[in-house]
Amino acid sequence: MSAPARRPVAVVSFAQARNVRREASRNEVELLMPVVSEVFAAIGASKDDMGFICSGSTDYLVGGPFSFVTALDAVGVWPPRAESHVEMDGAFALYEAWVLMQEGAIDAALVYSFGRSSPGDVTEILALQLDPYVTAPLWPSPVALAALQAQALIDAGEATEEELAEVAARNRSAARANPNAQVVSDASPEELLADEYVVAPLRRHALPPITDGAAAIVLAAGEKAREWRERPAWITGIDHRIETHALGCRDLTRSPSTALAAERAGLFEGPPVDLAEVHAPFAHQELIVRRALELGDAVTVNPSGGALAANPVMSAGLIRIGEAAARIWAAESERAVAHATSGPCLQQNLVCVLDASDGAVVGGGA
């Protein structure tokens, strides 16, 4: 079955807060407001140009209800405008905006996400996303679950602890060039292997940092995109898939939902990508996602440093799309893939293919 033609929609602006361990003085609205201002200012747009606003966040991080409603204060929604929210990473909010833009009624949309992991215990909070009957009552930490996944990968002969250290070293070294990164390091893989285990086989370096952050993206269609950005990053395909919540029913060494989303997003058609921004909070997960995306050695992976350099929950996936798009604007990439994940052990995955040319708009969704 050939996918129907899609309306060309592009990522034309991207902004993010400086990622920090603890945003001590500003609340969520105050964290988000400068990011929204910046994403508009970069292209000379305003909220009045936006036909739709979609956000991704979770009330569990802030510990109060309807934080996504108060977050709208950072945008200003008078006169009233169409708005939506997903209790997921902002990348999935971007997907909703993209779907709406396919209908053709609106030419531009604002997507944003925010989350401060510092007010609560993020390992306890993430335990609450597990199935509420059998797994969540055990309060397993996401590190423990990721360690099970890493061990399964090592037992299957598909990764070594040295490879996890190599992933961490490469990401945190690349993060040197990212002014918004939280954790940067020039340590070699050999040096990293001297780290203590946090939960075996995961050493400190294989874990993401705990991050407070926010991000915003502007999507635009057709001529509007060319007006705002000389070399827009066209979304030629985007798709997301989910696996069962029952961890014991999954092969944790594989990411079939990533592979399927990639296929439906058209990643395996047309010219190969030259760049990938992969949302892999734990080092071994990058190996799993690279395999699912069939990324060759020629592909530049995570020039931003990825989620190992900064992992703002609810924003880290949207940031991958923004980072990949920025490389296309800068002509550092012709075709890129951005990946976002959500849930335990890569349960849900989104794949977004970005292209310097809108001629390849064929894949996406079903």
Partner 1 sequence: MSGAEAGTQPVTVLETPIHLDYVFTPGIAQSIFLRGLARGVFLGQRCPTCGKVYIPSRGSCPVDGVATDEVVELPDTGIVTTYCVVNVPFAGQAVEIPYTCAQVLLDGANISFMGLIQEVPADQVRMGMRVEAVWVPPDELGPSLASVKYFRPTGEPDALYESYEEYL
Report which of 246, 269, 274, 214 is spatially closest to residue 89, judged by C-alpha positions: 214
Is residue 47 a contact residue for partner 1 (CB under 8 A)? yes
Taking the complex as a whole, the smallest distance from the CB of residue 90 to partner 1 amounts, in Å, to 18
DSSP track, 82-140: -EEEESS-HHHHHHHHHHHHHTSS-SEEEEEEEEESSSS-HHHHHHTTS-TTTTGGG--
Report which of 229, 217, 172 is spatially closest to residue 320, judged by C-alpha positions: 217
Q: Residue 214's beta-bridge partner residues?
A: 114
Secondary structure of residue 239 in the 3-state scheme: strand
Secondary structure of residue 220 in the 3-state scheme: strand
Is residue 136 a contact residue for partner 1 (CB under 8 A)? yes
Cβ-based nearer residue to partner 1, 4 or 132: 132
Which of 5, 65, 78, 179 binds partner 1 (CB under 8 A)? It is: 78
Q: Which stretch binds partner 1 (CB under 8 A): 96-104, 115-123, 180-188, 355-363?
A: 115-123
The strand ranges marked E within the chain are 9-16, 52-56, 83-86, 108-116, 197-199, 202-203, 212-221, 233-242, 275-277, 300-301, 335-342, 348-355
Taking the complex as a whole, the smallest distance from the CB of residue 27 to partner 1 amounts, in Å, to 3
Question: Please, which of residues 49-68 interact with partner 1 by CB under 8 A?
Answer: 60, 62-63
Dig out the tokens for 218 from the structure.
Answer: 């502007």
Taking the complex as a whole, the smallest distance from the CB of residue 122 to partner 1 amounts, in Å, to 10
Cβ-based nearer residue to partner 1, 125 or 144: 125
Cβ-based nearer residue to partner 1, 312 or 317: 312
Amino acid found at 92: F
Taking the complex as a whole, the smallest distance from the CB of residue 308 to partner 1 amounts, in Å, to 25
Cβ-count burial 18-56 (b if 16+ within 10 Å, e if not): ebbeebeeeebbebbbbbbbebbebbebeeebbbbbbbb
Q: Identify whether the C-beta of residue 280 lies closer than 8 Å to the C-beta of residue 168.
A: no
Cβ-based nearer residue to partner 1, 73 or 223: 73
Pairwise CA distance, residues 211 & 226, whole Å:
34
By CB atoms closer than 10 A (0-12, 13-18, 19+), residue 330 is: exposed
Question: Please, which of residues 19-38 interact with partner 1 by CB under 8 A?
Answer: 23-30, 33, 36-37
Count interface residues toward partner 1 (CB under 8 A).
35
Cβ-based nearer residue to partner 1, 70 or 300: 70
Taking the complex as a whole, the smallest distance from the CB of residue 5 to partner 1 amounts, in Å, to 36
Q: Which stretch binds partner 1 (CB under 8 A): 81-89, 133-141, 261-269, 282-290?
A: 133-141
Taking the complex as a whole, the smallest distance from the CB of residue 76 to partner 1 amounts, in Å, to 3
Secondary structure of residue 11 in the 3-state scheme: strand
Which of 4, 76, 271, 359 binds partner 1 (CB under 8 A)? It is: 76
Taking the complex as a whole, the smallest distance from the CB of residue 28 to partner 1 amounts, in Å, to 8
If one counts every other C-beta atom within 10 angstroms of the C-beta of residue 331, the result is: 10
Distances (CA, A) of 98 to 114, 277, 319: 19, 19, 16
Which of 3, 49, 70, 269 binds partner 1 (CB under 8 A)? It is: 70
Cβ-based nearer residue to partner 1, 203 or 245: 245
Is residue 44 a contact residue for partner 1 (CB under 8 A)? no
Is residue 123 a contact residue for partner 1 (CB under 8 A)? no
Which of 99, 125, 143, 187 binds partner 1 (CB under 8 A)? It is: 125
Name the residues that contact partner 1, by CB under 8 A: 23-30, 33, 36-37, 47, 60, 62-63, 70, 72-78, 116, 118-121, 124-125, 128, 132-133, 136-137
